[in-house]
Structure 1
Amino acid sequence: MFTSGKMKMIFSIITNKSEKLLEAINKCGTNDAINAEDLFKRYTTEIIASTAFGLDIDVLNEPNHKFREIGEETLKPHLLNFALERIFSRNFLGSIGYQAIASHIVEYFSKVVKDTLSHREANGIERKDFLQLMLQLKHHGKINENDRVDENQKIKHLLTDNDIVAESFFMYLAGYETSATTMVFALHELALNQEIQNKLRNEITEVIEKHGEITYEAVMDMEYLDKVVKETLRKYPIVPVLPRTCTKDYKIPNTNVVIKKGTAVQIPCIGLHSDPEFYPNPKIFDPERFSVENKMRRPDAPWIPFGDGPRQCLGMRLGLLQTKVGIITFIKNFHIFLDKSMTVPLQPQKSIFLYHPVEELLLRIEKV
């Protein structure tokens, strides 16, 4: 569902929200420090509410909107839940009535999605968003790259309303805080590294002049922006540990240790991303690590912010796209600097859940 064609389809939603983000930044003014993290969270909330839930909400102007408050509650880490899910099987936990997410949260998001689906079905409303694609899957089971129903495809399973609720909720979990936090880390580094910031601004300006406006194709043409985002995710992998299960017996090279099939394995992204064998001087922020020449000098495996293989994050394209447009919105329009109150270097709040800064990102801005 997250193909390049689908990204183009929802791009106007993202740019609309980025224009609102710019308005919110301008309202903050240049005299006071700007809480960039809060703005980014409101920006990603609006995008996901629109694309995955079919809601046109105004969180950028109403930061205490119920949709955001419920979402924030969902993402609070619960160590007990984390431990239970690794000690006991899902079948056992289900048999004793265990719920990872509080029932009132499930009920809220379920009602939002089902009410929107009912309204669209009753009134024949169609909208270019992911919820509409899932509605097509509910009725026809298959769509092609052009968003057309494939009548010749033999259908084995049609999406139910509960399936759609689950998919929409997954998109919220995958794309809200992760994208906002990536933008925070990126802007922190750009504020510290003015030369990199200026180089990025020059590319953004040149590419937009070439295309005439910010389009999906223009964002894809911004090669240096892509390097900046990838280097941000290398230095600050938002999900520091990837839980996986070994699919076959594996002997660790040069040892007698064998990891048996079915063994739970924790992959430390932060360790791989900080290995000087692959990334010399790993504490230095250097987007050129992701030039074509430098990427050819190392294997792909040491960069896995979204995982890899069949369990790679499905929302990666949406997350990267809204992240890039959010960064463009700041850098195209403002010179950014760290507020004097900020700690340097940035102190990450290391946890088993998300790699997150201890402090909120406070910026000083000057209009370009």
Structure 2
Amino acid sequence: MGVLALYSTQLFSQASPHYKGGLKVNFGDDGKKYLRIISWAQFQGVYSDDVAEDQSNTNFMVRRARVLMFAQINEKFLILTHFGLNSLNSSTMSPTGKSEGSQLFFHDVWAQYTIATDHVVGGGLHYFNGISRLNNQSTLNMMSLDNNRQSWSTLGLSDQFARHIGVFAKGKFDRLQYRVSINDAITTGLDTRDAMADVAVYGGNRLLGSKDAGKTYSGYFDFQFLDQESNFLPFKVGTYLGSKKVFNVGAGFFLHPKGSVILDGTELKGEDVQIFAVDAFYDTPIGEKGSALTAYATYQTNDYGANYLYSAYGTGSMLYGHLGYVIPGDVEKTRFQPYFTYASNSYDAVDDNRNVFGIGANAYLSGNNSKLTLEYQNQKFGETTRGTLTLQAMIYL
């Protein structure tokens, strides 16, 4: 993809009348040799009704602070670097900024090579994930306050914050886009439990070794019926605010042979992790007064092993959807987008579903580049019900 086409796509995705491409340093007159820098920050105030008696109901948090840079000296190859921090709050701060929660870390570092028109291969710490659109979600332009947590289906289990180290290929055949990858699984993930009988533990690489359980395989494919989206970067746009007319249907997978382990008598037995999903995304302008509709739905089956249930993850199925409507208004001024979200997660290990409902609104001060989001979310799982009200301010340059 040429630089001018890339910039046109970026302008579409931000839908801001004031954003003109941000910081780009050219190293030549033809625009093929350049360095592009993107920065964004999200600050939240959160009220929760489910806290200990000695804790405050209201807290503040830097939800994300990121810097992303990519550069090329010609159209044949590119390097990308992305670093930042997440969820910095009073519990993760430290007096001198040296604690684990205070540290910047690399989210992405990869190089890619164009091997043919519309086809690229690459490798490194990357975000070319499988499964669904939400497992490849950009955090710059989400329609809701945040991504559906269960859709980042391998985060911390087989990867580092939804990124694997490995090789990938991506591209398109006319209107069919694809991304596939082969990666190393993390040795020690979030699930550090010892092997148990009848209940799988996601620790194959740690407990069985990398020869048997060290590799993961993933892919995502979507057919684009209307306007085509860019696949220059892996990050999927959450809402175009009507600046494009998009209707995509996709399907994806994630496979980790012997990724989970179960205790069979005195022997450790590997169980394959298998996740599959189908989804659909629709974003369209309505009329000529700046209104727009954004809709998304996905169904996902999760097999992490027998009776697996750990934090947000569990063997079972997930249904998720969201719908947003941009109220008619002048695109040069503040626009408003009320929305709602719903997720239902079933688990083989328990009888209860985890149901999550959210309702909120975005105030776009300058498209996705400057917005305020207010969202109430209610989560019910078994006997536990938790409600949170969050106000977020975001700026993206």
TM-score w.r.t. length of structure 1 = 0.24
Task: Report which of the two has the higher share of strand.
Answer: 2
Q: Which has the higher contact order (CA 8 A, sep 6+)?
A: 1
Task: Report which of the two has the higher share of helix.
Answer: 1
